[in-house]
Chain A
Amino acid sequence: MSDEAITPRAPGKKVPIFSVTRVWTIAMSTVTQLVRMKTFYFLLAFALLLLVVGNVSFASSPAQALSTLKKVSFGAIDLFAWLFAIVATALLIPRDIEDRTLYTILSKPVRRGEYLLGKLAGVLVVIGVSLAVMFVICSIMIIWKQVGYMADEQAGGGRKEDIAASLALIAKNGFRIELAAAAYASFLKAAVVAAVTILLSTFASSSLFTIIISILVFLVGHAHSMATDYWLRETDNSMAVQMLLKVFKIVIPNFQLFSFSEGIVAGAALAPGVLWQMTWLTAGYLVVFLFISLIAFVDKEF
Chain B
Amino acid sequence: MSEHAVEVNNLTKVFRTGIGNQYVVAVDNLSFRVEAGEVYGLIGPNGSGKSTTMKVVLGLMAASKGEAKVFGLDSGDIRARNEIGFLPENPYFYKHLTGAETLKFYGKLCGIRGKKLKARVEELLEIVGLEDAAKRRLGGYSKGMLQRIGLAQSLVQNPRLVILDEPTAGVDPVGSREIRDLILRLKEEGYTVFLCSHLLEQVQEVCDRIGIIFEGRMRREGKLEELIKIEKQTAMTLENASPELLAKIEDLVASEEGASIVETGHPRTTLERLFIQIAERRSKEKASAEKKEEAS
Contacts and interface: CB of A to CB of B under 8 A. Distances in A.
A24 to B, nearest CB: 9
B86 A15 contact: no
B61 interface: yes
The 7 closest A-B pairs by CB, nearest first: A8-B36, A99-B92, A107-B86, A36-B96, A25-B108, A109-B82, A8-B37
Contacts, number: 124
Contacts of A19: 111
A12 B86 contact: no
21 contacts: A1-B208, A6-B190, A8-B5, A11-B83, A12-B159, A12-B160, A13-B111, A14-B79, A15-B81, A19-B111, A29-B97, A37-B96, A99-B92, A103-B86, A104-B154, A106-B81, A108-B82, A108-B106, A108-B109, A110-B81, A302-B55
Contact of B192 (A8, A100, A108, A301): A8
Given A6-B190, A12-B158, A107 B60 contact: yes
Interface of A: 1-2, 6-17, 19, 21-22, 25-26, 29, 32-33, 36-37, 99-101, 103-111, 299, 301-302
B93 interface: yes
Contacts of A26: 109
Given A104-B86, A109-B81, A15 B111 contact: yes
Given A21-B111, A33-B96, A103-B88, 5 more contacts: A2-B188, A12-B83, A22-B109, A32-B101, A104-B86
Interface in B42-60: 55, 58-60
A88 B86 CA distance: 28
Contact of A12 (B92, B97, B157): B157
B153 interface: yes
B194 interface: no
Interface string B188-216: 11111000000000000010100000000
B62 A299 contact: yes
B71 interface: yes
B110 interface: yes
Interface residues of B, number: 52
A15 B101 CA distance: 23
B91 interface: yes
The A contact surface, by secondary structure, is loop
Given A25-B108, A107-B58, A33 B190 contact: no
B72 to A, nearest CB: 10
Nearest to A10: B160
A69 B192 CA distance: 65
A123 B122 CA distance: 30
A15 B79 contact: yes
Contact of A6 (B62, B90, B187): B187
Interface of B: 2-3, 5, 36-37, 55, 58-62, 71, 78-79, 81-84, 86, 88, 90-94, 96-97, 101, 105-106, 108-111, 113, 150, 153-154, 157-160, 163, 187-192, 206, 208, 224
Contacts of A99: 92
Nearest to B92: A99
A53 to B, nearest CB: 33
Contact of A11 (B62, B71, B188): B71
Nearest to A108: B109
B191 A9 contact: yes
B130 to A, nearest CB: 17
A114 to B, nearest CB: 9
B27 to A, nearest CB: 13
B37 A6 contact: yes
B60 A103 contact: yes
Contacts of B61: 301-302
Nearest to B184: A1
Nearest to A301: B61
A14 B3 CA distance: 19
Contacts of B86: 103-104, 107
Given A109-B109, A109-B110, A12 B82 contact: yes
A15 B291 CA distance: 52
Contact of B96 (A11, A32, A103, A111): A32
A25 B105 contact: yes
A15 B187 contact: no
A221 to B, nearest CB: 32
A29 B60 contact: no
B110 A108 contact: yes
Nearest to A30: B94
B94 A101 contact: yes
